[in-house]
Amino acid sequence: MRYHSPESFDDAVALARDADGITRFLAGGTDVLVQLRTETVIPDVMIDIKRITGVHDITREDGGWRIGVAVTGAEMSEHAELQNEWPGLVEAMDLIGSTQVQGRATLVGNLCNGSPAADSVPAMIAAGIELSITGPDGTRREKTENIPTGPGKTSLEKGELVTAVHVPARGDNAGDAYLRFIPRTEMDIAVVGCAVSLRREGNKITEARVSLGAVAPTALLVEDAAQAIIGTELDDAALDALGAAASAACNPIDDKRGTIKFRTHVAAVLAKRAAKIAYDRAGADK
Amino acid sequence: MSSIHVSTTVNGDEVEFLCDPRETLLDVLRDRLGLTGAKEGCGTGDCGACSVTVDDRLVCSCLMLGAEAEGKSINTVEGIADGEKLHPLQEKFIEYAALQCGICTPGILVATKSLLEKHPDPTESQVRYWLAGNLCRCTGYDKIIRAVMDTAADMRKAS
């Protein structure tokens, strides 16, 4: 294995483009180094991106935020303004692993690891986050939901890497929330995860995005679930419609963490609960 | 496979070493620098026995490459006592017998020192969540939690 720590994204792209064999980008390393230790994936080339200028920064951009690709979960949780505007995104990231893992783990690492159960990914999708992706042919922007293509797989081409996370402007009367089901209280992998982001006008929901994790080969953006609550005051009928749409979107597997039946049921429960939290947050004074 | 030359600071001392690209910081600390306080329990970031701080951030040294230590400031359990004088946490862990086999203890001391620096007045829940990634199979945690809470109270009185 060769280890590189380039100081620019252009250099990182060039290294990845010219690399032979298996290439891994190293941000927090909380998945990459586990795979190395267990000899699941032994990269030929490891490209550490943490020496690139700006990758540790959370900065204002177009009324929203630009989060550097090496910003850790701990740094997100300690950022009061980000937390105030996007509590669901921050709580989803914060649920990943231990204090030690939070000191290293990153949003983009969680995304590019490609786990269908990644906690931050539904929250990123619900928030409408876009990524800058730089490769040999330049830089493009992509929606979060278009990155994972299956377990352990992404739509990134050889030589491409994510170079920035763009969080949209939160705007007024809006809130987000993320909930997951695990059989214990900490340190576990989601059996089902659900994120909701919405906006209100008075008591009426005017915009919504609902995303589910761990119920399909990739995290899902569930348009039908959003449509079930837009235009409503999140009354019982709207919540039931939301739950039904969430369950209908599920395409899960049976495994040691949960059955198809259980996951499909829990998706509805979590969607309703997350929507209520997001709704209350959207109505609260900031 | 060529070695990588790394300059870093460990417990306040400037240190240089050569390491293989695949070696973790934990491998380097134990096998190249002779600092065997940090333990390898799982090697995959689940147990916390290898906890150290890097630029004051609590991390698992098994989840970081030695090569990534370049220019960083690393603190391990070996740096917690001041010469022969134990840190209040270490004193309290002995007083409460908050350890049995001792494998998890260095990691728990590093983790709780980091906690008390950020949160001098933690709740019991806060301590338990902070230590969720430090597994102990002997004590049942109760004595550890009580030792940490009592240390925090003493350190607040002393400051």
Q: Which residues contact B29 (CB under 8 A, 6 or more apart)?
A: B10, B35, B36, B38, B52, B61, B74, B76
- Indicate if the pLDDT at residue A286 is higher than 70: no
* Percent of chain B scoring above 90 in pLDDT: 98
- In the block, tokens 């994936």 appear at A41
- Asked if A29 reaches chain B (Cβ–Cβ under 8 Å), the answer is yes
- Each residue's pLDDT tens digit, A25-41: 999 999 999 999 999 99
Mean pLDDT of A135-156: 97
Boundary (domain end) residue, out of B47, B79, B111? B79
Indicate the pTM of the whole model.
Answer: 0.97
Q: Tell me: do B8 and B74 sit in the same domain.
A: yes
* Amino acid A198: pLDDT: 98
Boundary (domain end) residue, out of B53, B79, B105? B79
Q: Tell me: do B68 and B100 sit in the same domain.
A: no
Tell me which residue range forms the domain holding B61: 4-79
Here the CATH number for the domain that contains residue B48 is 3.10.20.30
What phi, psi does A130 have (nearest 5°)?
-115, 155
Which of A184, A194, A266, A255 has its CA nearest to residue A229?
A194
* Amino acid B1: pLDDT: 59
Mean pLDDT of A13-18: 97
Q: Tell me: do B99 and B145 sit in the same domain.
A: yes
Number of domains chain B is built from: 2
List the single residue in B with minimal CA-CA distance to A30. B63
Please answer whether residues A215 and A270 qualify as being in contact, where contact means their C-beta atoms are separated by less than 8 angstroms. no
- Indicate if the pLDDT at residue A285 is higher than 80: no
Q: Tell me: do B46 and B96 sit in the same domain.
A: no
Q: Domains in chain A and their CATH numbers?
A: 174-283 (3.30.390.50)
Q: Tell me: do B17 and B44 sit in the same domain.
A: yes
* Amino acid A141: pLDDT: 98
* Amino acid B2: pLDDT: 84
Mean pLDDT of A273-282: 98
- Indicate if the pLDDT at residue A185 is higher than 90: no
Q: Tell me: do B74 and B92 sit in the same domain.
A: no
* Amino acid B123: pLDDT: 98
Q: Tell me: do B13 and B73 sit in the same domain.
A: yes
User: Which portions of chain B are predicted below pLDDT 70?
Assistant: 1
The H or E element containing residue B14 is strand B13-19
Q: Tell me: do B8 and B45 sit in the same domain.
A: yes
Here the CATH number for the domain that contains residue B150 is 1.10.150.120
CB contact under 8 A, A101 and B45: yes
CB contact under 8 A, B133 and A36: no
Q: Tell me: do B51 and B26 sit in the same domain.
A: yes
* Amino acid A187: pLDDT: 87
Please answer whether residues A235 and A249 qualify as being in contact, where contact means their C-beta atoms are separated by less than 8 angstroms. no
Please answer whether residues A50 and A240 qualify as being in contact, where contact means their C-beta atoms are separated by less than 8 angstroms. no
CB contact under 8 A, A98 and B65: no
Boundary (domain end) residue, out of B34, B58, B79? B79
- Asked if B43 reaches chain A (Cβ–Cβ under 8 Å), the answer is yes
- Indicate if the pLDDT at residue A87 is higher than 70: yes
Q: Tell me: do B19 and B71 sit in the same domain.
A: yes
SS3 percent helix, strand, coil of chain A, rounded to 5, is: 35, 25, 40
Q: Tell me: do B109 and B69 sit in the same domain.
A: no
Q: What one-character DSSP code corresponds to residue B32?
A: I
Please answer whether residues B42 and B35 qualify as being in contact, where contact means their C-beta atoms are separated by less than 8 angstroms. no
ipTM: 0.97
Contacts of A100 in chain B (CB under 8 A): 45, 48, 51, 58-60, 63, 111, 133
- Each residue's pLDDT tens digit, B123-135: 999 999 999 999 9
CB contact under 8 A, A99 and B24: no
Contacts of A36 in chain B (CB under 8 A): 22
Contacts of A105 in chain B (CB under 8 A): none
Mean pLDDT of A241-251: 98
Q: Tell me: do B92 and B75 sit in the same domain.
A: no
Size of interface A-B (CB pairs under 8 A): 86
Which of A91, A133, A117 has its CA nearest to residue A219?
A117
- Asked if B105 reaches chain A (Cβ–Cβ under 8 Å), the answer is no
**Side-chain half-sphere of A249: how many Cα atoms within 13 Å?**
29
Tokens of B80: 């917690």
Contacts of A26 in chain B (CB under 8 A): 65, 68
- Each residue's pLDDT tens digit, A41-77: 999 999 999 999 999 999 999 999 999 999 999 999 9
- pLDDT tier, A183 (very low <50, low <70, confident <90, very high otherwise): very high
